[in-house]
Amino acid sequence: MEIKAGRLVEPCSTRITLTGAWRTFVPVVDHKKCIKCNLCEIYCPEGCIHQVQSNDVKTLRAYAYTPEQIADLPKDETVFIPDLNYCKGCSVCAHECPRRAIEMVLEEK
């Protein structure tokens, strides 16, 4: 089965305004389990999961990642991460992940 990169639908309202501030749960990716199948990026209804090089600190900071979170990423790899400015915490990515590499955790504010 061939899986093409890209989204099934265009991103919704989150691209207009920052909506990540009101979510309750946040997706956390276990990069050791991730097989880079791209399903999380494809099925994200808000289009806020992206492929990023783990050493691209500028992009990771723009996606609201802390220095501690960036330090925990695998070194010099392509990783799939949600843009935390826009992620609503809907858990679609976690449900679609065939390896259960994404866990929804209560966000600490």
Is 45 inside any structural domain? no
- Residue 62 in domain: yes
Residue 29 lies in a domain: no
Examine residue 95 and state whether it is found in any structural domain, yes or no: yes
* pLDDT the model gives residue 19: 72
Torsion of CA 91, 89, 63, 106, to 10 degrees: -100
What's residue 79's pLDDT?
96
Question: Could you state, in chain order, the average pLDDT of each consecutive group of 10 residues for the chain (109 residues)?
Answer: 58 62 90 96 93 95 93 94 92 98 91
Indicate whether 31 belongs to any domain: no
Q: Cα(63)–Cα(51) distance, rounded to whole angstroms?
A: 12
Give me the number of domains the chain comprises. 1
The type of residue at 10 is E
Asked whether residue 46 is assigned to any structural domain, the reply reads no
Q: Which domain holds residue 9?
A: 1-23+51-103
CA nearest to 6, candidates 51, 58, 41? 41
Is 83 inside a domain boundary? Answer: yes
Please give the angle made by the CA atoms of 67, 104 and 62, to the nearest 5 degrees: 30
pTM (2 decimals)?
A: 0.80
pLDDT of residue 95: 98
**Is 41 a domain residue?**
no
